[in-house]
Amino acid sequence: MFTGIITDVGRVAYREDRGDTLFRIETAYSAASIDLGASICCNGACMTVIAREQITDERATFDLEASAESLSKTTMGSWHEGTLINLERSLSMGDELGGHLVSGHVDAVASVVGLENEGDSWRLTIRPPRDLMPFFAPKGSVALNGVSLTINEVDESTFGINMIPHTQTVTAFSSLGDMEISEASPAAINLEIDQLARYVHRQLQFLPQTQSS
Protein backbone atom coordinates (compact mmCIF):
# COMPACT_ATOMS: atom_id res chain seq x y z
CA MET A 1 0.00 0.00 0.00
CA PHE A 2 1.02 3.60 -0.67
CA THR A 3 -0.23 7.09 0.22
CA GLY A 4 0.31 9.09 -2.97
CA ILE A 5 3.07 11.19 -1.38
CA ILE A 6 6.04 11.11 -3.78
CA THR A 7 9.44 10.61 -2.13
CA ASP A 8 11.67 10.74 -5.22
CA VAL A 9 11.53 11.54 -8.91
CA GLY A 10 13.39 8.76 -10.71
CA ARG A 11 14.49 8.54 -14.32
CA VAL A 12 14.34 5.68 -16.80
CA ALA A 13 18.01 4.87 -17.42
CA TYR A 14 17.52 1.82 -19.64
CA ARG A 15 14.76 -0.10 -21.41
CA GLU A 16 14.98 -3.54 -22.97
CA ASP A 17 12.04 -5.05 -24.83
CA ARG A 18 12.07 -8.81 -24.61
CA GLY A 19 9.52 -11.40 -23.35
CA ASP A 20 8.62 -8.89 -20.66
CA THR A 21 10.02 -5.36 -20.79
CA LEU A 22 12.92 -4.53 -18.47
CA PHE A 23 13.16 -1.02 -17.08
CA ARG A 24 16.12 0.29 -15.10
CA ILE A 25 15.17 3.26 -12.93
CA GLU A 26 17.74 5.68 -11.53
CA THR A 27 16.87 6.98 -8.08
CA ALA A 28 18.16 8.82 -5.03
CA TYR A 29 17.14 5.84 -2.86
CA SER A 30 20.19 3.91 -1.71
CA ALA A 31 20.53 0.40 -3.11
CA ALA A 32 21.11 -0.96 0.40
CA SER A 33 17.68 0.30 1.45
CA ILE A 34 15.86 -1.47 -1.41
CA ASP A 35 15.09 -5.12 -0.81
CA LEU A 36 14.87 -7.54 -3.72
CA GLY A 37 11.18 -8.25 -4.19
CA ALA A 38 10.19 -4.91 -2.65
CA SER A 39 7.23 -2.99 -4.09
CA ILE A 40 7.81 0.52 -5.42
CA CYS A 41 5.04 2.62 -6.89
CA CYS A 42 6.29 3.93 -10.25
CA ASN A 43 4.05 6.64 -11.72
CA GLY A 44 1.16 5.02 -9.90
CA ALA A 45 1.91 1.39 -10.84
CA CYS A 46 3.06 -1.00 -8.11
CA MET A 47 6.13 -2.79 -9.45
CA THR A 48 8.50 -5.43 -8.02
CA VAL A 49 12.24 -4.83 -7.68
CA ILE A 50 14.25 -7.63 -9.31
CA ALA A 51 17.75 -6.09 -9.06
CA ARG A 52 19.46 -3.02 -7.63
CA GLU A 53 22.89 -1.41 -7.77
CA GLN A 54 24.61 1.58 -6.17
CA ILE A 55 26.16 3.55 -9.01
CA THR A 56 27.45 6.65 -7.16
CA ASP A 57 27.43 7.83 -3.56
CA GLU A 58 24.14 9.61 -4.21
CA ARG A 59 22.47 7.58 -6.96
CA ALA A 60 21.37 3.98 -7.38
CA THR A 61 19.33 2.00 -9.88
CA PHE A 62 16.70 -0.68 -9.53
CA ASP A 63 15.27 -2.98 -12.20
CA LEU A 64 11.68 -3.99 -12.79
CA GLU A 65 9.92 -6.09 -15.41
CA ALA A 66 6.64 -5.03 -16.97
CA SER A 67 4.31 -7.55 -18.60
CA ALA A 68 2.31 -6.90 -21.75
CA GLU A 69 -0.71 -6.33 -19.48
CA SER A 70 1.12 -3.57 -17.57
CA LEU A 71 2.29 -1.94 -20.78
CA SER A 72 -1.20 -1.94 -22.27
CA LYS A 73 -3.08 -0.75 -19.16
CA THR A 74 -0.70 2.04 -18.10
CA THR A 75 1.55 4.65 -19.67
CA MET A 76 4.56 2.34 -19.24
CA GLY A 77 4.47 1.41 -22.91
CA SER A 78 5.62 4.95 -23.76
CA TRP A 79 8.43 5.11 -21.19
CA HIS A 80 11.86 5.63 -22.73
CA GLU A 81 15.33 6.54 -21.57
CA GLY A 82 15.08 9.87 -19.78
CA THR A 83 11.39 9.61 -18.81
CA LEU A 84 10.82 11.04 -15.33
CA ILE A 85 8.99 8.73 -12.91
CA ASN A 86 7.20 9.51 -9.65
CA LEU A 87 8.42 7.07 -7.00
CA GLU A 88 6.98 6.04 -3.66
CA ARG A 89 8.05 3.17 -1.46
CA SER A 90 5.47 0.99 0.23
CA LEU A 91 4.08 1.88 3.66
CA SER A 92 5.53 0.51 6.87
CA MET A 93 3.55 0.17 10.08
CA GLY A 94 3.55 3.51 11.88
CA ASP A 95 4.24 5.62 8.77
CA GLU A 96 2.30 8.86 8.40
CA LEU A 97 -0.66 8.55 6.03
CA GLY A 98 -0.21 11.91 4.37
CA GLY A 99 -2.37 11.45 1.27
CA HIS A 100 -4.92 8.66 0.88
CA LEU A 101 -4.63 4.89 0.57
CA VAL A 102 -3.29 4.00 -2.87
CA SER A 103 -2.94 0.39 -4.02
CA GLY A 104 -0.72 0.96 -7.05
CA HIS A 105 -3.27 -0.81 -9.28
CA VAL A 106 -3.87 1.52 -12.22
CA ASP A 107 -7.52 1.62 -13.28
CA ALA A 108 -7.04 3.44 -16.58
CA VAL A 109 -4.98 5.84 -18.61
CA ALA A 110 -6.60 9.28 -18.45
CA SER A 111 -5.83 12.45 -20.38
CA VAL A 112 -4.83 15.89 -19.15
CA VAL A 113 -6.80 18.06 -21.59
CA GLY A 114 -6.38 21.45 -19.98
CA LEU A 115 -3.78 23.37 -17.98
CA GLU A 116 -4.39 26.93 -16.81
CA ASN A 117 -2.40 29.08 -14.43
CA GLU A 118 -4.41 30.07 -11.37
CA GLY A 119 -2.16 32.27 -9.27
CA ASP A 120 0.99 30.20 -8.79
CA SER A 121 -1.00 26.97 -9.01
CA TRP A 122 -2.13 24.98 -12.01
CA ARG A 123 -5.75 24.12 -12.68
CA LEU A 124 -5.72 20.79 -14.55
CA THR A 125 -8.67 19.34 -16.42
CA ILE A 126 -8.63 15.53 -16.54
CA ARG A 127 -10.64 13.34 -18.90
CA PRO A 128 -10.89 9.71 -17.69
CA PRO A 129 -12.67 6.89 -19.52
CA ARG A 130 -16.34 7.76 -19.39
CA ASP A 131 -17.35 4.62 -17.49
CA LEU A 132 -15.21 5.75 -14.53
CA MET A 133 -16.97 9.12 -14.09
CA PRO A 134 -19.29 7.83 -11.29
CA PHE A 135 -16.22 7.30 -9.09
CA PHE A 136 -15.30 10.99 -8.86
CA ALA A 137 -16.82 13.55 -6.52
CA PRO A 138 -15.90 17.12 -5.48
CA LYS A 139 -13.43 17.07 -2.57
CA GLY A 140 -12.82 13.37 -3.16
CA SER A 141 -9.38 11.85 -3.73
CA VAL A 142 -7.72 10.51 -6.86
CA ALA A 143 -4.21 9.23 -7.64
CA LEU A 144 -2.69 10.61 -10.85
CA ASN A 145 0.70 9.17 -11.83
CA GLY A 146 0.84 8.01 -8.22
CA VAL A 147 0.23 11.47 -6.72
CA SER A 148 -2.62 11.88 -4.21
CA LEU A 149 -4.73 14.83 -5.34
CA THR A 150 -8.04 16.39 -4.36
CA ILE A 151 -10.83 16.76 -6.91
CA ASN A 152 -12.23 20.29 -7.18
CA GLU A 153 -15.15 19.92 -9.55
CA VAL A 154 -16.76 17.25 -11.71
CA ASP A 155 -18.84 17.55 -14.89
CA GLU A 156 -20.21 14.98 -17.31
CA SER A 157 -16.90 13.86 -18.79
CA THR A 158 -14.05 15.59 -16.91
CA PHE A 159 -12.92 16.60 -13.45
CA GLY A 160 -10.61 19.37 -12.29
CA ILE A 161 -7.79 19.48 -9.77
CA ASN A 162 -5.60 22.24 -8.39
CA MET A 163 -1.86 21.57 -8.27
CA ILE A 164 0.14 23.78 -5.93
CA PRO A 165 3.70 24.89 -6.82
CA HIS A 166 5.26 22.43 -4.35
CA THR A 167 3.64 19.47 -6.10
CA GLN A 168 4.65 20.84 -9.48
CA THR A 169 8.33 20.99 -8.49
CA VAL A 170 8.78 17.80 -6.43
CA THR A 171 7.04 15.42 -8.83
CA ALA A 172 7.43 14.45 -12.47
CA PHE A 173 4.44 16.69 -13.22
CA SER A 174 7.02 19.47 -13.58
CA SER A 175 7.35 18.43 -17.23
CA LEU A 176 3.73 19.46 -17.93
CA GLY A 177 4.79 23.08 -17.68
CA ASP A 178 6.82 22.69 -20.88
CA MET A 179 3.94 21.15 -22.85
CA GLU A 180 1.12 22.68 -24.85
CA ILE A 181 -1.83 20.92 -23.21
CA SER A 182 -5.20 20.95 -24.97
CA GLU A 183 -8.06 18.70 -26.07
CA ALA A 184 -6.19 18.22 -29.35
CA SER A 185 -2.86 17.63 -27.63
CA PRO A 186 -3.49 15.87 -24.29
CA ALA A 187 -0.98 14.31 -21.92
CA ALA A 188 -1.52 10.68 -20.86
CA ILE A 189 -1.43 9.85 -17.13
CA ASN A 190 -2.06 6.79 -14.97
CA LEU A 191 -5.23 7.03 -12.89
CA GLU A 192 -6.32 5.09 -9.81
CA ILE A 193 -9.76 5.77 -8.35
CA ASP A 194 -10.22 6.10 -4.61
CA GLN A 195 -10.75 2.71 -2.97
CA LEU A 196 -13.65 3.96 -0.86
CA ALA A 197 -15.46 5.11 -4.00
CA ARG A 198 -14.80 1.74 -5.61
CA TYR A 199 -16.44 -0.24 -2.82
CA VAL A 200 -19.35 2.15 -2.29
CA HIS A 201 -20.15 1.94 -5.99
CA ARG A 202 -19.99 -1.85 -5.89
CA GLN A 203 -22.31 -2.08 -2.89
CA LEU A 204 -24.84 0.26 -4.48
CA GLN A 205 -25.17 -2.15 -7.37
CA PHE A 206 -26.66 -4.74 -4.99
CA LEU A 207 -29.13 -2.50 -3.18
CA PRO A 208 -32.78 -3.33 -3.92
CA GLN A 209 -34.39 -0.94 -6.35
CA THR A 210 -37.13 1.16 -4.76
CA GLN A 211 -40.41 1.32 -6.59
CA SER A 212 -42.45 4.47 -6.84
CA SER A 213 -46.17 4.15 -6.14
Tell me the C-alpha distance between 15 and 25, whole Å: 9
Q: Smallest Cα–Cα separation from 76: which of 2, 20, 149, 8?
A: 20
pLDDT digits (tens, 9 = 90+) for 99-144: 898 999 999 999 999 999 999 999 999 999 999 999 999 999 999 9
Helix (H, G, I), strand (E, B) or coil at 119: coil
Structure pTM? 0.92
More reliable by pLDDT, 96 or 56: 56
pLDDT digits (tens, 9 = 90+) for 71-108: 999 999 999 999 999 999 998 877 877 889 899 999 99
Tell me the C-alpha distance between 16 and 13, whole Å: 11
Domains along the chain? 8-89 (2.40.30.20), 108-203 (2.40.30.20)
Tally of helices (H runs) and strands (E runs) in the chain: 3, 13
- Mean pLDDT over residues 17-46, rounded? 97
